[in-house]
Amino acid sequence: MSTGSLTWHDETIQIGDATLHIRNGGSGEPILVLHDEMGRTEPLKYAEALAQDFSLQMPALPGFGISDRIDWVMSVRDLASWYLRVLDELNLERVNVLGFSLGGWLAAEMACQSPKTFNKMALVAPTGIRPESGEIFDMFLVIAKEYLEEGFLNSDATPEYATTCPDEPTPEMAELWEVAREESARLTWRPYMYHAALPHLLGRLQDLPTLLVWGEQDAVVPASTVKLYQQAINGAKLETIANCGHHPEMEQTDEFVGLIKNFFA
């Protein structure tokens, strides 16, 4: 598949009994990109920009997209254990990781279990910690399209909004949304979108450079969740992007890409 001037390659690998689909593109130091709870893996403009300097690996995690569901994986912590095996089998050591929302939580869980796996970790509006004030928006109280809409501060000013949340999604897109919601429910329903032990486990990350990115008008993940991440991870840096909701990679692409490139450089 080709997007702009960059060609993306789809790869299928077998890990135990599960088939995992990965989209690869770019060149340079690798970045593992972990998608959010809606399973988005298409290479948007931010990915095109990062792929000019880095080699991106963008898996559709088990149970999302067309990757196989793994029946015994019933929590984000289970998924973290399984994906650490994937990295072992791919011989990926000291890799950079970029996680969005649920993918940020997954990256944090993986880092807690194996702190030496990652070189640097960037978490974008991560779920996974119960906020002290406010609530993580409950994606299961609304339909998929309404949840996607909630993530944008100004959809009219976001060119890629029409791509990711069209007025009339194709049947294939609508099905992928529902598949993602079903798997997110399996992984995050009780308790909803957090792991009570995670703030304590993050204390293991004494030497992992960590960047936290959050949109100032994020209506999905409240500020207190991100600040608790910052408190729990020694030396973590928080960057807040103004005029932005839950998706800085789409709403403020240039600023977002600049932050990520500088961090991973």
3 has pLDDT over 50: no
Three-state secondary structure readout of the chain? CEECCEECEEEEEEECCEEEEEEEEECCEEEEEECCCCCCCCCCHHHHHHCCCEEEEEEECCCCCCCCCCCCCCCHHHHHHHHHHHHHHCCCCCEEEEEECHHHHHHHHHHHHCCCCEEEEEEECCCECCCCCCCCCCHHHCCHHHHHHHCCCCHHHCCCHHHHCCCCCCHHHHHHHHHHHHHHHHHHCCCCCECCCHHHHHHHCCCCCEEEEEECCCCCCCHHHHHHHHHHCCCCEEEEECCCCCCHHHHCHHHHHHHHHHHHC
What's the total number of domains in the chain?
1
User: Which carries the bigger pLDDT value, residue 130 or residue 43?
Assistant: 130
Checking if the pLDDT of 2 tops 80, the result is no
Beta bridge partners of 97: 32, 121
CATH number for 53: 3.40.50.1820
Q: Structural domain of residue 223, as residue ranges? A: 2-264
Q: What percent of the chain has pLDDT over 90?
A: 93
Question: pLDDT for 72-112, tens place per residue?
Answer: 999 999 999 999 999 999 988 899 999 999 999 999 999 99
